Structure 1
């Protein structure tokens, strides 16, 4: 029984109970009529009680609510799964790049070793460090050398740093261009100011030719 009909039945039966009570009070005053009025009054409250139809309606509404909640939960789980997958993919790509660098350096070291005497471990370590600075930070040849030999940097010997610089695989022109783009996009510097920063002994320490290449290709 749907709710509006149950309310109507409640009011009707309550009205009947009231009229029976008033009629009996004004006329016969017999107890059985009072009892009948009480029965109708109680039955009116029963009309508002639980019924199979009401239970069915509540079950239907509960099912809809559960389905909606389940759908939202599934969407949240899918979103979290996509985020985790993206993070794993980025981490995997970074690890793959580092492994590739290490593999290339190891290959170069083995190639040199086969053509000459055994390369000292310090030289190989300096080469790995230097290759990382060139690939990830786009540093110049001279800046990498200074970083490798600096007491505030890697503290390699001049010989190990020289070996590293001579064996690093890098396009110095493209490194200079990448640095120039960073200055232009992040610090909004002019081409002349970027050139000075690229060639300065207190800046990036690229050669004039490398800096010129960067400026010429800055907006291409």
Structure 2
């Protein structure tokens, strides 16, 4: 902010000197020097905005060059005004950059609450999964801190609604909060004839409003659809209510 204010002040003074010299038909050397100084402060302001480290490095370089030039002037017995200005400018820039760096807040990691620290250091409890074949799976999962996922699959060996398998298997140690998947039977997978019988049964039910017993008789009749008793029974059992 200081650099920008200095830039504005010198810019205004340079413009005033330039206008004044034009009105009085005087040399505008003073205006040129003032405007050049304002340009220097503007460049310093831009560098400071881009990177404080780069701004600090610029001050350090200016300070070192100023000392080198001062020593050179001593040996050559030349005026040392420019060297002193370089040293002072470098010292000012380096010191100012250091003040900026110290005053800027450093990012700190958010504090972790005591509860979160305890949770992180505490080992996750593992529980042995029970055999859910003859157990209420939902009740067991609720009591032991597990999530239950129910899946239905066709099975030729397990009756509809019966237990097929579970994942992970019984006896596996699992962290609390994990998911236990239990597979239940949807009964035997219907054959193509079963599906055809069901389609016919749905047609008789919706279009002719026949009773289930009448549909069964029609499906198994030798004068009707000629389905087997098993196929007709599957169709009647799976008709929409």
Query: Taking structure 2 as the reference length, what is the TM-score of the superposition?
Result: 0.28
- Which structure dedicates a bigger proportion of its chain to strand? 2
Q: Larger C-alpha radius of gyration, 1 or 2? A: 2
Query: Taking structure 1 as the reference length, what is the TM-score of the superposition?
Result: 0.30
